[in-house]
Structure 1
Amino acid sequence: MKKICLLVLVLMQLLRVNAQSDSVYMFAYFKNNGQDGLHLAYSNDGFTWSALKNDSSILYPTVAKDKLMRDPCIIRGADGLFHMVWTVSWNDKGIGYASSKDLINWSEQKFIPVMMQEDSARNCWAPEITYDAKRKQYMIYWATTIAGKYKADPKVENGYNHRMYSVLTKDFKTFSKTKLLYDKGFNVIDATIIPDGKQLVMFLKDETREPVQKNIKIATSKKMNKGYSDASAPITGNYWAEGPTTLKINGTWIVYFDKYRDHKYGAVQSTDLKNWTDVSDKLVMPKGIRHGTIFTISRKEFELLPK
């Protein structure tokens, strides 16, 4: 009986290892000003990341006047496609969108005019996508400053005072009306929302310039498109951080972020979303990597990508 139990345990461990090794973590990011488009890196453990295609562009931007591809966000949709949104310009009222079956061949790039109804909208930065499996719909969300809507702090860079806005879609062709998603009375950008059991977890950047914040915080909600809590205490340290993205590996959250003043990446980890440990010294990242997002693909899909 003991031998049988031992054999079962060994088989279970082997199955667990095989299941884990079948997945590859992918990091979609940009470099410089985003003028050359999408870059991809991969990792097997979440800490050592290697650029694909000799760190050259996977997809060049074609939409909007500035033709940039900053802050790319890629998720795998319920339809099996990879859906991507990105920042097309420093000052525009829409975002970019494209889809792909294999991360190599992409659909025609489209401009989604999410803030055209706001005459005083100054920008649409760092869009992301989260999927609601229960309602079978996607939420796209981003940061915008609407001049005059919120009191501008003269000490904030260029008078920006962002809030998070969102639209809903089932097919990336028709969209709901744009709605305010997150406003807790402070300048907020770079939100990323992750389903976690019965709640959704929003990692966000508090962009407050004085008294200086420039850090990553957390808010939660029971519903994807409303009801988020006040922001938590900072989970990052005494440095300026932006562009959070996250993985959950074996019950441990890892939140990655751009230490943009230090020109390097950082990471913190937690098992309870309350107590955080800095693990930045474990990271190995491609040179010049900027704000991006992490997603997962199969080993089979990975083997087809250009190395």
Structure 2
Amino acid sequence: MKFNNCVFLVLVICFSLGILSCNSKVSDVSSKEEVKEEEIYLFTTFREPKNEGLFLAYSLDGYRWEDLGGTFLPAEVGESKIMRDPSVAKGPDGTYHMVWTTDWKGGNGFGYASTKDFVNWSPQQFIPAMEHEPTVVNVWAPEIFYDDEQEQFIVFWASTIPFRFEKGEEAEDNNHRMYYLTTKDFKDFSETKLFIDPGFSIIDAVIVKRDSDDYVLVLKDNTRPMRNLKVAFGKSPIGPYENVSDPYTGFLTEGPTVIQKDGEWIIYYDSYGDKSYSAVTTKDFKEFTEIGENLSFPKGHKHGTITTISKEILKNLKENSKITTTDNE
């Protein structure tokens, strides 16, 4: 009898351990599913006319993009009250921070708002980042990057200050350089500083982190003969960036944004010369492969940036979209 009780006790313990092991495996699967959910890509975009505000598109694979429509955030700040080039970055607390162009010419700052779900937003702010430059012509395409090494956001943009730099073939009111500031909370900001002067007019730049001391700057050479995309390399997100490459896109291309997928990088860009949207892939930012024929985008899609969202956020966006969706994601 004692022996049978011992056997029964052992069986109970083993069964309990088995259950615990099974529960552990279920937990692991759930964790993997959560990671997979965060791989839903969300593209912030705008439409013409530029005063209509924020539009969104999503993708499960980075190739086929579905329209969520707009306006998810109206354009309310800046003299012109437009919204171009909406750039978004996710902070460590899950908040998405977005900046955008508010004025084509004449503005001295950029727009800012934050959200947890792209439906409910903080009050919009106008950040007068170039108010110390009385002759500044514009503040174009602000881009936001979260620097996890310094635990701060970097916002950088293109501005023209006439007679400040060698202009080459450019007019004095169209000779851009990149500037930046940093912030941890979008309440207190660092002093605005020069971000990069590559010796030519530059706009539409994005930072790509490959390692803690290995960064790539994807940029547009905006000089008249070029107006195409190049890359440069640095050891810090704020540079200096050097070794500017030859162009890897054609004439009249701009607005790059980058994701990492399946061991390579996809650089999306606006081919505004032929009114299309395209992309290249690269593993090393030295050799590039055109993949435009593999992509599909909503009609009228314009450049912004890509972030990732959860399945719950996507569901909420679809429920708040004016576009009827029929898929089961």
Q: Is the TM-score greater than 0.5?
A: yes
Q: Do the aligned residues in 1 keep the contact of 2:137 with 2:173 (CA within 8 Å)?
A: no
Whether 2:88 is the aligned partner of 1:74: answer yes
Partner of residue 140 from structure 2, selected from 125, 128, 133: 125
What code does the residue aligned with 1:290 have? K
Offset of residue 88 of structure 1 = 0.1
Correspondence 1:284-303 to 2 at 5 A: 284-303=296-315
Q: Do the aligned residues in 2 keep the contact of 1:128 with 1:140 (CA within 8 Å)?
A: yes
Residue of structure 2 in register with 1:260 after alignment: 272
Which has more helix, going by share of residues? Answer: 2
Q: Do the aligned residues in 2 keep the contact of 1:21 with 1:44 (CA within 8 Å)?
A: no
Distance 2:267 2:306 in 1: 10
Residue of structure 1 in register with 2:227 after alignment: 214
Distance 1:229 1:16 in 2: 39
Structure 2 length as normaliser, TM-score? 0.84
Distance 1:260 1:157 in 2: 21
Whether 2:231 is the aligned partner of 1:231: answer no
Residue of structure 1 in register with 2:191 after alignment: 177
Corresponding residue SS for 1:254: strand
Residue of structure 2 in register with 1:188 after alignment: 202
What code does the residue aligned with 1:196 have? R
Distance 1:148 1:270 in 2: 37
Structure 1 length as normaliser, TM-score? 0.90
Q: Do the aligned residues in 1 keep the contact of 2:226 with 2:251 (CA within 8 Å)?
A: no
Q: Do the aligned residues in 1 keep the contact of 2:99 with 2:143 (CA within 8 Å)?
A: yes
Report Cα offsets for 1:151-187 as digits up to 9, x if no partner. 335x536740000000011101111111001101100
Offset of residue 17 of structure 1 = 7.8
Q: Do the aligned residues in 2 keep the contact of 1:269 with 1:276 (CA within 8 Å)?
A: yes
Partner of residue 73 from structure 2, selected from 51, 54, 59: 59
Distance 2:275 2:306 in 1: 19
Residue of structure 2 in register with 1:250 after alignment: 262
Compare CA radii of gyration and give the structure with the larger one.
2
Correspondence 1:1-150 to 2 at 5 A: 19-20=35-36, 22-52=38-68, 55-91=69-105, 92-150=107-165
Q: Do the aligned residues in 1 keep the contact of 2:163 with 2:172 (CA within 8 Å)?
A: no
Change (3 A) 1:275 1:14: farther
Q: Do the aligned residues in 2 keep the contact of 1:152 with 1:159 (CA within 8 Å)?
A: no
Corresponding residue SS for 2:158: strand
Distance 2:204 2:89 in 1: 16
Change (3 A) 1:230 1:120: farther
Q: Which runs of 5+ in 1 are unaligned?
A: 1-11
Q: Do the aligned residues in 2 keep the contact of 1:30 with 1:71 (CA within 8 Å)?
A: yes
Distance 2:31 2:154 in 1: 35
Change (3 A) 1:15 1:103: closer
Distance 1:201 1:249 in 2: 16
Runs of 4+ in 1 over 3 A off after TM superposition: 12-22, 155-159
Q: Which runs of 5+ in 2 are unaligned?
A: 1-27, 322-329
Corresponding residue SS for 1:41: strand
Offset of residue 79 of structure 1 = 2.4
Q: Do the aligned residues in 2 keep the contact of 1:184 with 1:230 (CA within 8 Å)?
A: no
What code does the residue aligned with 1:160 have? N
What code does the residue aligned with 1:176 have? S
Offset of residue 16 of structure 1 = 6.5
